[in-house]
Chain A
Amino acid sequence: MPVLLPALLPGISLRALASPFLRTVHDEAGGHVLVLIQMSGGNDGLNTVIPLEFYDAYHSARSNIAIPEDKVLRLEGFDGTGLHPAMPELQQLFNAGKLSIVQGVSYPQPNFSHFRATDIWLTGADAGQVLPTGWAGRYLDREYPRFPQDYPNAAMPDPLAIQVGSLVSPALQGPALTMGMAISNPNSFYDLIADKAPQTVDSRAGDQLAYIREMSVKTDQYAGVIKKAAQKVTKQSDKYPAAGKNPLADQLKIVARLVAGGLQTRIYLVSMGGFDTHARQTDTDTTTGAHAKLLARLSEAINVFQDDLAFLGVSNRVVGMTFSEFGRRIQSNASGGTDHGAAAPVFVFGDGVKAGVIGENPVWPAKLTVNDNIAMQYDFRAIYSTLLEKWFRTDQASTASVLLKNFAPLPLIA
C-alpha cells in the first residue's frame, strides 16, 4: 500500500512513500541535473538580447525604452547581438563558453494570456491543446514508472524533482499526481536542516500544530534525505548576496547545496516574478529601472550559482535554462512599458553547454504596427527535446512520446 505524504512544515510540502521497492533500471545520464528558471510575467526579450545588427530599427520601435547602443554588452564572436547592460555576469559566462542563447523561441499561434501561455510552456502543449500533465512530469513518469507506489527505493531514494520558492508547478504534474515536491519557503528549508521547531507551542492550537508538523517530518522519508544531503555541504560560494536580497539566488543556493550533497533529484524548478512590465519598465536612463533590476538579479543569480557549482565540484552535472511564458511587443507603449508579445530568447547555461547564439536576430517589417510581434524561429519544445535527448540521453522515440511530437534537437549541448 503506497503511503503518500504531504508535508506539513510551513513552506515545505513533501510527498513520500512508505514502501521501498527495488528498481533496477540503469540510467547512464542519472547524474545529470536540469534546472529550470521560470521568469513569470513575460520577459521583454528584445531588451534582454539586443539586435545590434538592426540597432536603428530596434531603437525606432521603442525609443522611450531602448538601450543606448554603446551600453549594450558585446558577445565575443557575435558582433550583431548583445546583452542588456544589467547582465555583465551573463556576458562573462557567454564569453567563457558556458552560455547559449536561442533566439525567437515560441510556438505556432502564440497565446497572449499569462495563464494559458504559462500552461502551454509548462505542459508542453500546442496552442490549441489542453494537457492534463506537465512536460517534465511526463518525462519523470516515463523514467521512473510506478511513481509514487514504488518510491523511494534503492535506485532512486530521492525526490524526482524539487521546486523551490513556489507551491505547485503544472510542469511537474504526472498522470495521477505531481512528480515533485516543493520547498516553497527557503527559510523553512534552513529550519528543517537546523532541526528548528517551526512554531512556538504556547497556545492550544499551536501545540497541536507543532505535533502534526513533527509527525509529518518524522514520517516523511524525503525530509530525511534532504536534510542529510544538505548537511553534507558545510560551505558554499561566498559570492552569494545576503539572504533576501536576490530571491532567485536564494533559491539556486539551495539547489546547488542539494546537488552537491548527493541528491539524485533530476529536475529543479526555481522562479522569479515581476516581468509583466506594462509600464515604466525603465527609468529615464533606460539602462536602469524595473526591468534592469530583474535582469541584474537573474544575471547575478545564475553567475553565483555557476560559481558555487564549480566550487562544490559539480558544475559538470548541471545545465540550466531560463524561460518566460511569452516575450513582449516589439513596439513599446506610451507608458514606458511593453505589452504581451510572442517569441523571446531563451538562455541555456552550464559547463555542458555548447556556447553561442542559435538563430538570427529578429527582423520585422519596416512599417511596424503596435500589434507586430517577434516571429518564432524555434519551438520551445525543440529545447525540451534537446535537453531530454542530449542531456538526459533519452532516445528519440521516448523524447517524442514525452513531447507528444518529434522536435529536432538543437546544437545546445557540447
Chain B
Amino acid sequence: MPFFTFLRRSVVATATAATLAGGIASPAMAADRELLNSSYDIARELFATINPKFVDWWQASHDQSVEVKQSHGGSSKQARAILQGLKADVVTYNQVTDVNVLADAGLVAEDWQQQFPNNASPYFSTTAFLVREGNPRHIESWDDLVADDVDIVFPNPKTSGNGRYTYLAAWAYADQKFDGDEAKIRDFMKRFLGNVKVFDTGGRGATTTFVERNIGDVLISFESEVNNISQEYGSDEYDVVVPPVSILAEFPVAVVEEYAERNGNRELAHDYLDYLYTEEAQRLLAGFNYRVNDETVKAEFADRFPDTQLLRVEDVFGSWEQVMDTHFASGGVLDQLQRR
C-alpha cells in the first residue's frame, strides 16, 4: 500500500527531524548557574556585550560558570509577564513605573530604589533631537519646536514610555520657562503637540517614519537612541541636537526577590546588578551612548555627552504615580491638550 509506505517514511523523517530540533533547542553546554534578565526591547545588543564580561568576572571570582539569559520586549509587557509568572531574577528596564508595578505586587522590594546607587539606575539618558543634515530648521531647543511650520515626530505618549519622556521634557522645559504658570505651559504644550506630524505607537515606528518615510523636521527620542540611529543610518545625513534643558531618563534595575530566592540566585542577582556599576561595565554602557556616573568613564566620554541641565521627573511633577494620573490617564491633561 504505497500510501502507508509514504506515511511511514514521513513519520520516520519527522522523528529524525524532531530529534535534531530537540538537540538544537537544548543548550549545548549547561552552565553551573543560570540567571534570567528581563529587559526592554532595544537593549539586546547592549546586554549581549555586557553579559560575556560578567560571565568572565563571575568565573574568575567564584570559579563557577554562569549563563545569563535575556528576555526582551516592551518593558510594560515584560513587567506583566513577570506578574504572570515569568521567573526572571533581575529586571533592567527603561521605565520606573514598570518596576513600581512589580514592587506593588510584592515581587520587588518596596525600597528597590535605595538598594543600588543613583536611585537604582546604573545608567541614564535624556531626550534629544535628531534633525536632518545641517539642521536646516535651526532647531536648538524646545522653543524652536513650537514654531508654526516645524513638523515633529515622536512616539505616542499613551503607548510609549519614550514618548512619555518627550512629553514630560517639553512640559518641564515650559514649566521652567514660564515659572510654573500653568496657562502658559498648556498653551506651549498645545502648540508643541499641534506640530506633531505622526504619532507612532513605539520608538521603532517613529524612527521608520522619520528615516524611511522621510516625514518631519525633527525626531525626538532618547539621546542614546538618537545617537544609535544617526550611527546606523549615516551621520552625514542627520545631526544630533541635545537641548540645553531636558529630562532625566532613568534606566532602573531591580532584583525580583521572590523569584531570585526560589531560583537560588539571590547573591548572583545582586552581584549582576552591582556589576553594572563597575568601571568596566560603565565604559561599555557609555559606548552604547548611555550616560553614566563613573567619574573616570565620564571624563573619557566627555565630548560625546554635551552638558545639559537634566530635570528629574519627581522634582517637577511629584511622583510617577501622580504623573500617570494627571497627564496620561484617560481624560487627563494630554487628552485635554489634544482636544481641538
* A and B physically associate: no
